[in-house]
Structures are given as C-alpha cells and as structure tokens.
C-alpha cells in the first residue's frame, strides 16, 4: 500500500515539475510584460513585478500600430476560416457521398498536397499574387489559404461515418441537392465544422511565412509578422515591448483554446493532425 502511495506521489511530483517547465515561461511572459524595462533587465530576474506598469501596452497600442496588426490578424483569420468551412465541406461531401468521375484522383491529389512544404509553393505563389496585383492586400493574404487540404480530409472522414439513408430519405422526399447539403448534411456536421473552424482560425492566426512575404507595408502586417520584425529590427532592445507584444499574440488564442479545448483534442485524436 505504502509503495503504491509513494509511486503515486512521485508521479504527481514529476508531472507537476513538467507542468511548471511547460507553463512557467508563459506565466513569466505575462508577469514580465507589466514590469518596467529596468526590472526586466535586472539581475537576478524577478517573478512578481515589484512595480506594476501598463507602459509597455500603452506604447504598443498608442505609439506603435498594434491595433492595426490585431485587426489585420482578425480579418485574415476570419476570412480564411469561413472559406475553409464552406469549400472543404462542399468537397468533403462530394468525396464522401456523391459519385463523379475523377473522384478518387482528386482526393489523392488533395491528400498529397499535405506533404508539400510551404517553402515549395511560396515563391511561385508570390509571383502569381504579385502579377494578379494582389501583393500587400487582404486578398493576397487570404486567397492561397481558402482551400486547405487538411479540411477536406477531416470533413470527408467525418461524412463517411454518416449513414446514406438520411440523405436518400431527403432525396426521396424530393429535396434538391443543394437543399439536402444545406439542411441535412451541414447540421449533421456541426462537431466536425467546430473542430475545423477552430483549427483553421488558429493556424491562420499563427501563420507566419506567407504574411511575412506578402505584407510589405505596416498597414497590412499581421501580429506574428509585426512581432518578428520588431524583435529583429531596431526595436529589438525593448524587452518589455516585445513581451507585451507576445502576450497580445498569445492571449486570444489561449482564451479560445481553453474555452473550446474538447474540440481540439477530438480533432487531433481523430485525424492525428493539428
């Protein structure tokens, strides 16, 4: 009995230490963003701020363009998410429930795209978007991400498990194909749509390489781009500013994640991808 107890206590001990190592840096980031610059640089470093200040955030929002970057991030992420929900569920439904020539080839091609690294496509995409006159525009930021292969895979897998009878019954009742999709199929897909929506929003919010290349002026930067450019540019010496910037990037995502984490876990456990 005592040996079991000892094992349990040491297990809790190890897990808690692990939790501290993983979550500690985030706590330190949040606390330090409220410290004055001198305290952040003080040796040895402090955990709890000895003086609280909002100066870092004030500078971020008043002097720098963070409200604009924040708005850009929201606009891009919302458009990308809506696009993926619509286009991926349409194709996912066609692949799972409708028979049409080239169906299998299309699915395999889309699936194969999951293996292609972003580095392979971004140079031609940049040439394409520039020639369409969309460089440094919201359209340019959004268009290449509207149709993601991951969403098709997720929607198709989910729809395969839905019995054909439901769709056949609606068809016999005389409902048109569009109506069936809108009124019967989509409502059944709510859990998959929730998972896809959250994962897409998140990956768009955190997306870095493409906006770094396409957004060339301040007014189109997304948050990660702005943060990265500030941290390697002239402002890199302002520690407090950068930490406050990191908080602004991280906090919205953390709130979404904590509120909806069961959808995350389901999405990862069922598809194995993030």
Considering only the stretches 48-56, 60-68, 138-146, 157-165, report the one whose residues sit in contact with other proteins under the rule CB under 8 A.
Answer: 138-146
Verify binding: residue 259, other proteins, rule CB under 8 A. Answer: no
Helix, strand and coil percent figures for the chain, each rounded to 5: 80, 0, 20
Ranges within 62-101 binding other proteins (CB under 8 A): 86-88, 90-91, 93-95, 98-101
The one-character DSSP state at 270 is: H
| Closer residue to other proteins, CB minimum distance, 47 or 52 | 47
Burial call 203-232: b when 16+ CB within 10 Å, e when fewer: bbbebeebbbbbbeeeebbbbbbbbebbee
| Closer residue to other proteins, CB minimum distance, 81 or 149 | 149
Task: Count CB neighbours of 1 within 10 A.
Answer: 5
- Residue located via tokens 């290349």: 213
Verify binding: residue 246, other proteins, rule CB under 8 A. Answer: yes
The one-character DSSP state at 45 is: P
Inter-residue contact 193 to 186 (CB < 8 Å): yes
| Closer residue to other proteins, CB minimum distance, 169 or 273 | 273
Verify binding: residue 272, other proteins, rule CB under 8 A. Answer: yes
| Closer residue to other proteins, CB minimum distance, 75 or 146 | 146
d(CA 14, CA 12): 6
Ranges within 21-40 binding other proteins (CB under 8 A): 21-23, 25-26, 28-29, 32, 40
Verify binding: residue 103, other proteins, rule CB under 8 A. Answer: yes
Ranges within 140-169 binding other proteins (CB under 8 A): 143-144, 146-147, 149, 152
Verify binding: residue 127, other proteins, rule CB under 8 A. Answer: yes
> CA neighbours within 13 Å on the CB side: how many for 177?
5
| Closer residue to other proteins, CB minimum distance, 25 or 67 | 25
Name which position in 80, 141, 192, 242 contacts other proteins (CB under 8 A). Answer: 242
């Amino acid at each position: 009995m005592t040996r079991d107890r000892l094992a349990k206590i040491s297990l809790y001990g190890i897990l808690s230490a692990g939790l501290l190592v993983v979550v500690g840096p985030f706590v330190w980031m949040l606390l330090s963003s409220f410290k004055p610059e001198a305290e952040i640089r003080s040796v040895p470093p402090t955990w709890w701020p000895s003086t609280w200040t909002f100066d870092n955030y004030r500078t971020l929002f008043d002097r720098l363009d963070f409200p604009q970057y924040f708005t850009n991030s929201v606009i891009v992420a919302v458009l990308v998410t809506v696009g993926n929900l619509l286009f991926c569920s349409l194709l996912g439904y066609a692949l799972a429930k409708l028979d049409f020539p080239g169906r299998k080839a299309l699915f395999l091609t889309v699936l194969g795209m999951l293996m292609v690294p972003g580095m392979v496509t971004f140079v031609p995409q940049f040439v394409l978007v520039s020639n369409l006159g969309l460089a440094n525009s919201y359209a340019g930021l959004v268009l290449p991400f509207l149709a993601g292969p991951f969403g098709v895979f997720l929607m198709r897998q989910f729809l395969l498990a839905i019995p054909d009878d439901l769709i056949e019954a609606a068809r016999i009742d005389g409902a048109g194909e569009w109506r069936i999709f809108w009124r019967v199929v989509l409502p059944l897909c709510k859990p998959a749509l929730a998972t896809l929506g959250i994962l897409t929003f998140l990956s768009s919010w955190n997306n870095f390489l493409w906006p770094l290349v396409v957004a060339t002026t301040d007014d189109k930067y997304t948050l990660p781009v702005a943060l990265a450019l500030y941290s390697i540019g002239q402002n890199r010496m302002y520690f407090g500013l950068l930490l406050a910037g990191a908080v602004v990037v991280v906090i919205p995502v953390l709130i979404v994640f904590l509120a909806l984490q069961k959808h995350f876990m389901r999405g990862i456990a069922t598809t194995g991808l993030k």
